[in-house]
Structure 1
Amino acid sequence: MSTPEHSPLGKTTLYADRYDPSLLFPIPRAQKRLEIGVVEPLPFSGVDIWNAYELSWLDARGKPQVALAEFRVPAASPDIIESKSLKLYLNGFSQERIEAAALHDTLVRDLSAAAGAPVEVALRAPSAQGHAITDLPGTLLDDQPLEIDDYGPPNAGYLSADHNAAPVEEALLSHLLRSNCPVTGQPDWGSVQIAYRGAPIDQAGLLRYLVSFRTHNEFHEQCVERIFVDLMARCAPERLTVYARYTRRGGLDINPFRSTDPAAMPDNPRTARQ
């Protein structure tokens, strides 16, 4: 079964230290997409960027090696990979003797098979200058002096745009995104950037909407797609990109990116919270 309740989440687990691709647990995207009215063809393009900070293996002489790994899972893939299963799978390399090039190819093969689409893999030395601390650009929403008492479920009724005003092109940013794992109930903390062109979006309503995810149970990828779909339905921007950077758990962070621009390709900045 490939539903979240059948995954390794929330269960006592024996951590294997040998390679085992069967540990990867795919979860179909289709069911949650149907809940928000997303069917083929998808109304967005995008990618889920995973950063793994706990990858280690043995070289041919048995000396441990470590790397930072970046995985890019296309939004068009039929499945997501459940995060604890990915952690267990990666830990399985810890006592395997394998060269870096072979490890890279193995990761590409196994993750692509689990996701049902080609997954890009990059391995970097911990000293590599590829993850400088920065922040997503945009106007910060969080300092608005608002009274808020709605913490879920997500309420798209807060979203609106002034279609009588001249179109704007801007990026809006909030660090107040919080949702919960649908299996364990553990909190997921994130920052979200909303970049768009179109009628000005009401910023107070947008912040209230984002806060209304606070007690919502859904995976990272599903939350970002819900935000994208609600913004398109309620505000009708000409162009829209939603990019969330979630904090790390279990040595992994997950960063979904959805855009109306099929050519858009996000950077992978490491924020202060990551």
Structure 2
Amino acid sequence: MSLLHDTPLGRASDYVDQYTPALLCPVPRWDAREGLELENSDLPFHGMDLWNAYELSWLNGKGKPMVAVAELTIPCTSANIVESKSLKLYLNSFANTRFESREAVIAAIEKDVAHTIGAPLDVRILSLKEAQREPLWEDHGQCVDGLDVSFEGFEYSPDLLFTDQGPEQSGVLFSHLLRSHCPVTNQPDWATVMVRYTGAPISPASLLRYVVSLRNHQGFHEQIIEQMFIDIQRRCAPRQLTVYGRFTRRGGIDINPFRSNFETLLPNARTVRQ
């Protein structure tokens, strides 16, 4: 099992253009969950990580280049995540390899990534015409970004979260202001995050301050969304909770973690920044 210093992150890399499954690197989920005091056998959420890869190309049986968009749906119960740069390098390795069909490419990705993460996954490959018909993000609920709120610091602080007085309600709050940092390269990651809940009314201003407090916080995309789920659950105690992050792409790949304790996966709807 790879440690972070064994991955391609932050290193100069050779771009192999012949199919090479060995390029994939796993990162254990347990490392981050231990810090959240979670047990992998009894997670307070279910969910998926949706990966969209926009730079997939291979050769068909006649040697003609094909281009497509790949969608990988990885269960949050997998032992590992895939280190994102390693997935980019792996998908680039398809470029000068012949595959007889789209189905053969899907089968290869499913087999190789399942071996890396330690769990089965779903893989779709969309032609560009098919990808154009995929849904786009539509705003539902309250965007907290327009609130006239002052900020005194940018240090991660879950204590900023609180609920308002009032009866239980079902609500949706979202923000386009989420920023965090890669724990290896310290590069910034940008995202839209949606919180859907049923419970005591979550203060919109408190959620905005909390989101902004993550501005210099380090974590992989999946870890940041799980941190948010746990913080909101512990501070606001909603009966039902979903946290869904839509991160902007890096290296031709965007990652979109979905965590919930009551609903199934929401549509893979691309935001304006993706």
Whether TM exceeds 0.5 here: the answer is yes
Cross-structure match for 1:104: 106
Q: Which amino acid aligns with 1:5?
A: H
Q: Which amino acid aligns with 2:54?
A: Y
Runs of 4 or more consecutive aligned structure 1 residues displaced over 3 Å after TM superposition: none
Cross-structure match for 1:143: 146
Which deviates more, 76-85 or 98-107? 98-107
CA distance in 1, matches of 2:5, 2:140: 37
Q: Which amino acid aligns with 1:114?
A: T
- Taking the TM superposition and a 5 Å limit, the aligned residue runs for 1:32-43 are 32-39=32-39, 40-43=41-44
Conservation of the 8 A alpha-carbon contact between 1:136 and 1:271 = no
Q: Which amino acid aligns with 1:117?
A: A
Cross-structure match for 1:119: 121
- Taking the TM superposition and a 5 Å limit, the aligned residue runs for 1:1-274 are 2-39=2-39, 40-98=41-99, 99-128=101-130, 129-152=132-155, 154-162=156-164, 164-261=165-262, 264-274=264-274
Contiguous gaps of at least 5 residues in structure 2: none
Cα deviations by residue, 1:19-50 (Å, 9 ceiling, x for unpaired):
11111000000011010111121110000000
Q: Which amino acid aligns with 1:101?
A: E
Tell me the CA shift for residue 138 of structure 1.
Answer: 2.0
SS at match of 2:179: strand
Q: TM-score, normalised by structure 1?
A: 0.96
SS at match of 1:175: strand
Conservation of the 8 A alpha-carbon contact between 2:171 and 2:196 = yes
CA distance in 1, matches of 2:188, 2:248: 10
SS at match of 1:271: coil
Conservation of the 8 A alpha-carbon contact between 1:136 and 1:193 = no
CA distance in 1, matches of 2:196, 2:97: 43
CA distance in 2, matches of 1:245, 1:265: 13
Contiguous gaps of at least 5 residues in structure 1: none
SS at match of 1:11: coil
CA distance in 1, matches of 2:193, 2:3: 27
Tell me the CA shift for residue 84 of structure 1.
Answer: 0.1
CA distance in 2, matches of 1:80, 1:136: 29
CA distance in 2, matches of 1:36, 1:134: 30
Conservation of the 8 A alpha-carbon contact between 1:135 and 1:270 = no
Conservation of the 8 A alpha-carbon contact between 1:135 and 1:272 = no
Q: Which amino acid aligns with 2:133?
A: G
Tell me the CA shift for residue 136 of structure 1.
Answer: 4.4
Tell me the CA shift for residue 134 of structure 1.
Answer: 2.7
CA distance in 1, matches of 2:120, 2:81: 12
CA distance in 2, matches of 1:219, 1:135: 25
Higher helix share: 2
Q: What do you get for the CA RMSD once the two structures are aligned?
A: 1.1
1:118–1:235 distance in 2 versus 1, CA, 3 Å: same
Tell me the CA shift for residue 5 of structure 1.
Answer: 2.4
CA distance in 1, matches of 2:154, 2:49: 26
SS at match of 1:201: coil
